[in-house]
Amino acid sequence: MPCEFLFGRQTQLGTENSFIVPKCRNDLSFGTENSFIVPKCRNDLSFGTENSFIVPKCRNDLSFGTENSFIVPKCRNDLSFGTENSFIVPKCRNDLSFGTENSFIVPKCRNDLSFGTENSFIVPKCCNDLSFGTVIQYEKEAPYMLFDTHVHLNVEQFREDREEVMQRAKQAGVEYMVVVGFDHETIPKAIELAENNDNMYATVGWHPVDAIDMTEKELNWLEELVEHPKVVALGEMGLDYHWDKSPKDVQKEVFRKQIRLAKKVEMPIIIHNREATEDIIEVLQEENAAEVGGIMHCYNDSADYVQECLDMNFFISLGGPVTFKNATLPKEVAKVVPLDRLLIETDCPFLAPHPNRGKRNEPAYVKLVAEKIAELREISFEQVSQATTENALKFFNIER
C-alpha cells in the first residue's frame, strides 16, 4: 500500500522501549526483550547488531543508521534521517515529515489516523486494524511557552505524584519553572529538583513566618547555596502579618539581613508580602533593594503601590487570585502593570485559580492566569505568554 508521512511534535516514551505499530497483512513479528513489535514483510526478519532492533526485511536489504539510531528496512533503496535519537524510516514516494528531537515519524495510510485511549500514541490506520505494544504517550507541542516563576513542588503535597504534575505542566506549555525553597526542608529539595530537570531552577531564602528560627548559621548556609549554578534568586523573604509565629520586629530584622546578603552576592530577591505592604516598601527603600531588584511575588494589594515597586526595579507577579470572581485588586493591577514588568505564577500548591479554587494548585494552571490577564488587558493570550516568559528569562538571567 502506498504511504505518505506524518509527524507528532513531542513524544514521551513508555516503558521498556516498546512501540506501537500498524498491522500489515494482519500479522506481526515479535523481537527479543526490549525490541519493537514490527510488521512482518514477506514473513522474514533481519537481525541487527547487539542492542539494535529487529526489523522487517524489505527486498532483502537493510540500511544502518548512526549511533543511537535504529536499523530499518530500505524501501526503494533510499532512507531519510531524523534528528538525534529519532527514528530512521523508509521513504515512500520520496517525502517525509520530521518531528522534534526524540519524536516519532509515522506513516499515513489512507490519510486518516486512529486514536488510542488515554496515554496512548496516535498511530496510522492500516486496513483499519492496529496492534498495540505497551503504552507510550503522544502529546502535541503547545504553540506557546509559559514560565511559572513561583512553585513549591518541593513540599509534601506533591510527594505522591510529583512526576505526573510536572508532566501535566509540560503538556500545558509550561516550559520553565522556579522552585522556591524557604526553610530547612524545602531548600535542599528545591535544589535537587533543579539539578534533575533542565528547565527548572531554584531559589533559596527564609520565610518570614519562620523568621524566629533563623540564626547566623542559616544566613551563612544561604550564602553558600547561592553559588549553585541552578540557584537564580534569594527568597522568598519578606513580612507576613497574618500569622503571629514570628514577631514583627524579628521578621523585619531577618528580612533586612537577607536583602543585605542579596546585595553582597549580587542576586535578585523574591518578596513575600501578606498584610504588610507599607512596611515592605519601607524596608526595601531603606535597604536600597533597588540595587538588586526583585519580584513582588503573588502581588495582592492595591494598584496604588505598583509604581513604587516598579521604581525600585521590581517586577510584579500575578497568580491565581487574579482569576477569582470577587478579587478586584489583582484585576486592576493586571491592567496597569507595564507588560515588560509583568510575570505570572501559581504559588502551587496554594491559591489555585478559578475554576479550581479550593483544590490543590499545580504549575499547569498558570495557563489560566495568563488567559485571565489577556482578557483583562484585551490582548491575546500569546502576547501575555510571550512577554511574561521573556521577562522571566531576562530577570533570572536564564539563556534559552
Give me the residue spans of the domains in the chain. Answer: 1-141, 146-395
Q: Is the pLDDT of residue 323 over 90?
A: yes
* pLDDT tens by residue, 293-314: 999 999 999 999 999 999 999 9
pTM score, whole prediction = 0.67
- pLDDT digits 0-9 by tens, 347-397: 999 999 999 999 999 999 999 999 999 999 999 999 999 999 999 999 999
How far apart CA 222 and CA 151 sit, in angstroms, is: 19
Record the cell numbers describing residue 338, joined without a space.
507595564
Q: For domain 146-395, which architecture applies?
A: Alpha-Beta Barrel (3.20)
Exposure letters 132-142 (e unless 16+ CB within 10 A, then b): bbebbbbbebb
Beta carbons of 223 and 212 less than 8 angstroms apart: no
Q: Which of 276, 338, 345 is nearest to 306 (CA)?
A: 338
Summarised one tens digit per residue, pLDDT across range 40-83 is 333 333 333 333 333 433 333 333 333 333 334 333 333 333 33
